[in-house]
Amino acid sequence: MPPELAARRERRPFAAHLVSQNIGLLLVFALLAAAVILYCVFFWIRQQSLPGNFELTSTVNNTMPLAMAAIGQTIVVLTRGLDLSVGGIIDLTNALAAVHIQDNVGSMLGWTALVLLVGAALGLVNGLLVGVGRLQPIVVTLATLSIFQGLAIRVLPQPGGAIPPSYTAALVDPNNPWALLYLALCVLLWLAFRRSALGVAIFAIGNDEGAARANGIKVVQGKVIAYTLSGVFAAAGGLFLAATATAGDATSGNGFTLSSIVAVVLGGVNLFGGRGSAVGAIAGAFVTTMIVNILFFSEIDPLYQSFYEGLFLIIAVVAGAVIGRLLRRRR
């Protein structure tokens, strides 16, 4: 229950303004830097060398599905919503990819487009229920999560199927971190989106839905598009997951519902809507992967992995809140 008094904002120096506006982004990059340094230290202790191209490539490739899911989740969270069905969409699209993609260019391109379309359609269902049906995002996406998971198992009852090696090479080259190019593309798209009419509408909806509506922003349309985009990005996550695993599994996406929220929160996106950046969420996704890497090298029993993820999540959220409060108080 934050006091509404924070609204009386005075002018402050430009630098301080910039810092406090991007505090989430700064925090997540500080966190990422700390994680990378810690990882290098542990790596040095174990291997007497610094991590190289191989480690970078595998980190990037392992992060791609989560980074995609986190971008989609960001857009929905910005509207003050939440998409719990991300895991189900990844399950279903991953299964579709593993069952259908054949080793020829036509099939690869065609099915990639089709799978992304399926993701859009699934997201559209969420968006219509939330936007037009005016239902609560959490329950809607919890219900569709169950439906999508069911459909995924219908498509691929047992783990299996196969992804052609050339498809894997195109998406997540195992030898070089080319996948970073896709991320760079996403960042560019994000920067354009942020300044587009649609982007502004989505931020406005999250900040104050009533005011946005009063200012002529099409709230329902904005929400529907936000969930649809989340579906598309989750589908992209499903494709990357299939490419990294080189096979399909209709349950392998389940964890992404939670981890995409973790990435978004670590990335400084405000869960009460209207504030945040997909760039932060991508960094948040990398922090999540780095935590796993660090745990691996620090010889901590992998069984404790969720414990540390949960702990870091709480620390990040509380630290973000405390630092934000301090900055606001100093003014």
Partner 1 sequence: MARLGRLRLGRDRRRTLYALIAAVALFVVGELVHPGFAGLDSVEAILTIASFVGLVAAGQTFVVLIGGIDLSVPWVLNGAAILLVTLSLGEDGRALYALLLTLGMGAGIGLLNGVGVAFLDVPAVVITLAMNGIMEGLTLGLSGGLTCAACASYAPPIVQRAVHEPILGVPAELFLWLAVIVIVSFVLGRTRFGRHTYAIGNNARASYLAGVGVRFTTVLLYALSGLFSALAGILLVGFGGQASLGMGTPYLFQSIAAVVIGGVYILGGRGSYLGAAAGAASLTALVSVLLAMNMPDYGRSIIYGVVILVLLLLYGREEGEG
Give the DSSP letter string of 140-185.
Answer: HHHHHHHHHHHHHHHH-SSSB----HHHHHHHS-SSS-THHHHHHH
Q: Does 15 bind partner 1 (CB under 8 A)?
A: no
Stretch that binds partner 1, among 24-32, 138-146, 166-174, 208-216 (CB under 8 A): 138-146
Contact 256, 86 (CB under 8 A): yes
Considering only 61, 63, 112, 149, the residue that binds partner 1 (CB under 8 A) is 149
Q: Whose CA is closest to 183, among 67, 50, 31, 46?
A: 67
C-alpha 65/C-alpha 253 separation (Å) is: 9
Per rule CB under 8 A, count of chain residues that contact partner 1: 45
- Kindly state the DSSP code that residue 9 receives in the 8-state scheme: P
Contact 24, 320 (CB under 8 A): yes
Give me the helices (H) in the chain, please. Answer: 14-21, 23-47, 53-78, 86-100, 105-131, 137-155, 165-171, 179-195, 197-207, 209-214, 219-245, 255-266, 278-297, 305-330
Report the nearest approach of partner 1 to the CB of residue 11 (Å).
26
Which parts of 260-289 interact with partner 1 (CB under 8 A)?
261-262, 265, 271-272
Report the nearest approach of partner 1 to the CB of residue 243 (Å).
24
Q: Does 129 bind partner 1 (CB under 8 A)?
A: yes
Considering only 187, 317, 323, 327, the residue that binds partner 1 (CB under 8 A) is 317
Q: Does 124 bind partner 1 (CB under 8 A)?
A: no
Beta strand ranges found along the chain (DSSP E): none
Contact 248, 97 (CB under 8 A): yes
Stretch that binds partner 1, among 45-53, 102-110, 149-157, 167-175 (CB under 8 A): 149-157
With respect to partner 1, which residue has the nearer C-beta, 227 or 240?
227
Q: Whose CA is closest to 265, among 275, 255, 253, 250?
A: 275
With respect to partner 1, which residue has the nearer C-beta, 114 or 143?
143
β-sheet bridge partners, residue 248 = 160
| Token output for 316 | 């990040």
Q: Does 133 bind partner 1 (CB under 8 A)?
A: yes
Q: Does 6 bind partner 1 (CB under 8 A)?
A: no
Determine the residue type at 72.
G
Angle CA 14–16–19, to nearest 5: 110
Which parts of 203-242 interact with partner 1 (CB under 8 A)?
none
Considering only 12, 17, 46, 154, the residue that binds partner 1 (CB under 8 A) is 154
Considering only 82, 101, 217, 278, the residue that binds partner 1 (CB under 8 A) is 82
Considering only 22, 107, 150, 180, the residue that binds partner 1 (CB under 8 A) is 150
Considering only 26, 114, 124, 135, the residue that binds partner 1 (CB under 8 A) is 135
User: Alpha carbon of 96 to those of 102, 113, 184, 256: distances in Å?
Assistant: 12, 12, 26, 17
Stretch that binds partner 1, among 52-60, 164-172, 282-290, 303-311 (CB under 8 A): 303-311
Considering only 174, 311, 328, 331, the residue that binds partner 1 (CB under 8 A) is 311
Report the nearest approach of partner 1 to the CB of residue 108 (Å).
27
Handedness of CA 22, 23, 28, 33 (dihedral sign): positive
Where do contacts with partner 1 occur on this chain (CB under 8 A)? 1-2, 82, 129, 133-136, 138-140, 142-147, 149-154, 157, 258, 261-262, 265, 271-272, 301, 303-311, 313-314, 317-318, 321
